[in-house]
Structure 1
Amino acid sequence: MTALPTGWRAETPGPDDVAALHALRERHEVAARGAPSAGADATDAEVAGDGAASREHLVVRDATGAARGWATAHDRAAGRVLVAVVVDPELDDAVGDQVAGALFTWAQGAGAALARARGLARTQLDCGAFEADPRHQRRLAAAGYRHVRTWWQMRRPVAAGDEVPAPTGPGVAVRRLERTEGAMPGERDLVAVHDVLEEAFADHFNHHEETFDEFLARLRADPGHRWDHWWLAELVDEAGTRPVGVLVASASTDADGRAVGSYVEYLGVLRTARGRGVARSLLDAVVTDAAVRGRGHVALEVDADSPTGAADLYASCGFTTSYATQSWHRYADVP
């Protein structure tokens, strides 16, 4: 690993470090885009909770023991590792660059180790940046990453009248996954969700196939996970009833843990069913649900270069762009 400043050290963080790491992440996000975006429950889940099993972490401490840098390597799917590097914005650029270099070097090794465990010879390292954060972008470029995509983070306020369900598209039926009270949905619906999403996103940018078990484990590890935020859209016609669309949402919480919004994790429609109002019907379902629950907004992320016209659909449904993020990629070979 690249050398750290004299007296500084790097180590694996534990549950006792969650508060300090979340504070570090908040300082970074406020400096980068003017407001925090990740909740404390997300940091806890990643470091000490259900999401920790698929992640490796490294914290850099200064001579006083304070957390000044943090890197994560998340085994996202076969051939894809999500990298996150957070550097304290209070550091001057020279020291911050040194810390960032050390963390990116560690992340490359951690990514290679995750690829080795999967029996791969190479893996993609996928790291994000806020569009309004040139300092982090400069550090990404110095670490060998290149900017490959831009994403719009969109939001729609929930307004009076949204609690009234809108009509679905012709021949389209939208429902929650079937389950008994307090239980998981049945395997049939869960498999249908996974299959629809895998097929719907097969031609999308940077799609990496996930197994059914990986998909379920990852989404259930999200602290905002709720089974009653999963919807299936089905076409009903003379050929019968068949699933063609999926929307998976989660609850967005405030600093006190209250659910104040809904976030669309996935919205996918089979190519053969596009143009029939399936996506709009699913969006109407999550907006109506948020209104009934008394939440203030629904948010989502969309590929700025999506070939499906998704951004235009969201705009027509009242979503506007709050800020933009970027994907930066490089590759790590297994020694």
Structure 2
Amino acid sequence: MTEAAPPALPAGWHAHAPGPDDVADLDALRARHEVAAHGARSASADATLAEVAGDGAPTRTHVVVRDAAGEARGWATAHDRAAGRVLVAVVVDPVLDDATGDALAAELFAWAERAGVALARSRGLARTQLDSGAFDSDARQQRWLAAAGYARVRTWWQMRRPVGDDDRGLRPTGPGVRVRRLERGADGMPDAGDLVAAHALLEEAFVDHFNHHEETFDEFLARLRADPGHRWDHWWLAELVDGAEPEPVGVLVAAEVTADDGRATGSYVEYLGVRQSARGRGVARSLVDAVVTDAAERGRGHVGLEVDADSPTGATDLYVSLGFATRYVTQSWHRYVDAD
């Protein structure tokens, strides 16, 4: 892949591709940004490590900007998320004055565009989507996105449900529905047939969802396994069992959420998808019950998820009915660029 040209910077400032030695500074930078933007930290230190120098690094291109004193003041990432979709993240230190922050943000978004074009060319594409975002309360980031040519396209609810002892023990599933974990071999690895079924189900379930971009099976597995919270025993399949043979119709993939000291404090739903033909039979509710029960029996305190505020499937109403509440709101902003 052709590398993007570095951003233009003030005298004495410099840009470079980060490595393991930069992880602590980048994690601190992102934490300052998140606290200033919406009052709390969201991404974990483990996530920063995975993205910059861990299993998630191969699909990402980064640039970090340091001032004349060597302090990390800006960070941009272009993530090759799927064919035709590049996730763009731009983080600018909130301690910078508006003029400096605005100029640095503009340079980082311009770098991200060049990186996105390079990724599109490497895939042989003529056009790609740049997909970025902002906290709903972060007017500064939204101003930068608009200035860089992005348009706000969607709103997402970041929801959480507290978990307690009363959540131990599975509730009854929907009529004719069975929920189970993936089959596992003696080596602890999941059954290949179950993995293929899970991927196929998610691709089918999300084909009518906002901004779905198809991923290959290998891309899908590699991305999920790069998440530091990934656990094979956090995958569930839902099957209809009122026919001659069990029919897979739904899947939920969750991750472990850890505190700074490494303790597992919660579970997070990465994916929940149900085949269109099986919707309305309690499949989604049964899968949510499974992850809530699992979290309770592990002694965790909450289950979190993200949902499209305008979901056509009624997912928002389902989650509210199951005790989830919105903690904060995020936005998606998109821009399309040609690779020629």
Shorter chain as denominator, the TM-score bin is: over 0.9
Query: Which one of 219, 223, 248 corresponds to residue 214 of structure 1?
Result: 219
CA distance in 1, matches of 2:80, 2:244: 40
Once the two structures are TM-superposed, the CA of residue 333 in structure 1 deviates from its matched residue by 1.3
Contact 1:11 1:58 in 2 (8 A): yes
Contact 1:45 1:52 in 2 (8 A): yes
Once the two structures are TM-superposed, the CA of residue 5 in structure 1 deviates from its matched residue by 1.6
Verify: 1:75 aligned to 2:80, yes or no. Answer: yes
Query: Which one of 241, 266, 289 corresponds to residue 236 of structure 1?
Result: 241
Query: Which one of 32, 39, 62 corresponds to residue 34 of structure 1?
Result: 39
Query: Which one of 313, 322, 329 corresponds to residue 324 of structure 1?
Result: 329
Verify: 1:95 aligned to 2:89, yes or no. Answer: no
CA distance in 2, matches of 1:329, 1:14: 28
AA partner of residue 293 (structure 1): R
CA distance in 2, matches of 1:93, 1:304: 31
Aligned residue number for residue 159 of structure 2: 154
Verify: 1:114 aligned to 2:109, yes or no. Answer: no
- Unmatched tracts of structure 1, length 5 or more: none
Aligned residue number for residue 288 of structure 2: 283
Aligned residue number for residue 250 of structure 2: 245
Say which SS state the counterpart of residue 42 (structure 1) adopts.
helix
Aligned residue number for residue 192 of structure 2: 187
Say which SS state the counterpart of residue 161 (structure 1) adopts.
helix
Contact 1:3 1:98 in 2 (8 A): no
Contact 2:74 2:90 in 1 (8 A): yes
Once the two structures are TM-superposed, the CA of residue 181 in structure 1 deviates from its matched residue by 5.0
CA distance in 1, matches of 2:14, 2:108: 12
Query: Which structure 1 residue ranges, 4+ long, deviate > 6 Å from structure 2?
Result: none
Q: Deviations over 1:131-155 (max 9, x none)?
A: 0000000000000001000000000
CA distance in 1, matches of 2:9, 2:103: 7
CA distance in 2, matches of 1:250, 1:122: 32
- Unmatched tracts of structure 2, length 5 or more: 1-5
User: Which deviates the most, 237-246 or 140-149?
Assistant: 237-246
AA partner of residue 294 (structure 1): G
Q: Deviations over 1:184-207 (max 9, x none)?
A: 211100000000000000000000
CA distance in 1, matches of 2:7, 2:263: 41
AA partner of residue 30 (structure 1): V
Q: Deviations over 1:214-248 (max 9, x none)?
A: 00000000000000000000001134211000000
CA distance in 1, matches of 2:188, 2:243: 33
Aligned residue number for residue 10 of structure 2: 5
CA distance in 1, matches of 2:125, 2:284: 36
Contact 2:7 2:15 in 1 (8 A): no
Once the two structures are TM-superposed, the CA of residue 4 in structure 1 deviates from its matched residue by 1.6
Contact 2:267 2:304 in 1 (8 A): yes
Query: Which one of 178, 182, 185 corresponds to residue 183 of structure 2?
Result: 178
AA partner of residue 57 (structure 1): H
AA partner of residue 199 (structure 1): E
User: With structure 1 as the length reference, what TM-score do the two structures score?
Assistant: 0.99
Contact 1:252 1:259 in 2 (8 A): yes
Q: Deviations over 1:5-45 (max 9, x none)?
A: 22111111111000000000000000000000100000000
AA partner of residue 290 (structure 1): A
Aligned residue number for residue 144 of structure 1: 149
Once the two structures are TM-superposed, the CA of residue 182 in structure 1 deviates from its matched residue by 4.9
Say which SS state the counterpart of residue 226 (structure 1) adopts.
strand
Once the two structures are TM-superposed, the CA of residue 2 in structure 1 deviates from its matched residue by 5.2
Aligned residue number for residue 169 of structure 2: 164
CA distance in 2, matches of 1:71, 1:5: 17
CA distance in 2, matches of 1:226, 1:260: 14
Say which SS state the counterpart of residue 5 (structure 1) adopts.
coil
Give the direction of change, closer, same or farther, for the CA distance of 1:259–1:182 in structure 2 (3 Å limit). farther
Say which SS state the counterpart of residue 37 (structure 1) adopts.
coil
CA distance in 2, matches of 1:262, 1:102: 37
Query: Which one of 296, 307, 310 corresponds to residue 305 of structure 1?
Result: 310
Identical aligned residues as a percent: 76
CA distance in 1, matches of 2:300, 2:132: 31
Aligned residue number for residue 22 of structure 1: 27
Q: Deviations over 1:275-294 (max 9, x none)?
A: 00000000000000000000
Contact 1:155 1:319 in 2 (8 A): yes
Give the direction of change, closer, same or farther, for the CA distance of 1:130–1:182 in structure 2 (3 Å limit). farther
Contact 2:269 2:303 in 1 (8 A): yes
CA distance in 1, matches of 2:189, 2:111: 38
Say which SS state the counterpart of residue 218 (structure 2) adopts.
helix
AA partner of residue 202 (structure 2): L
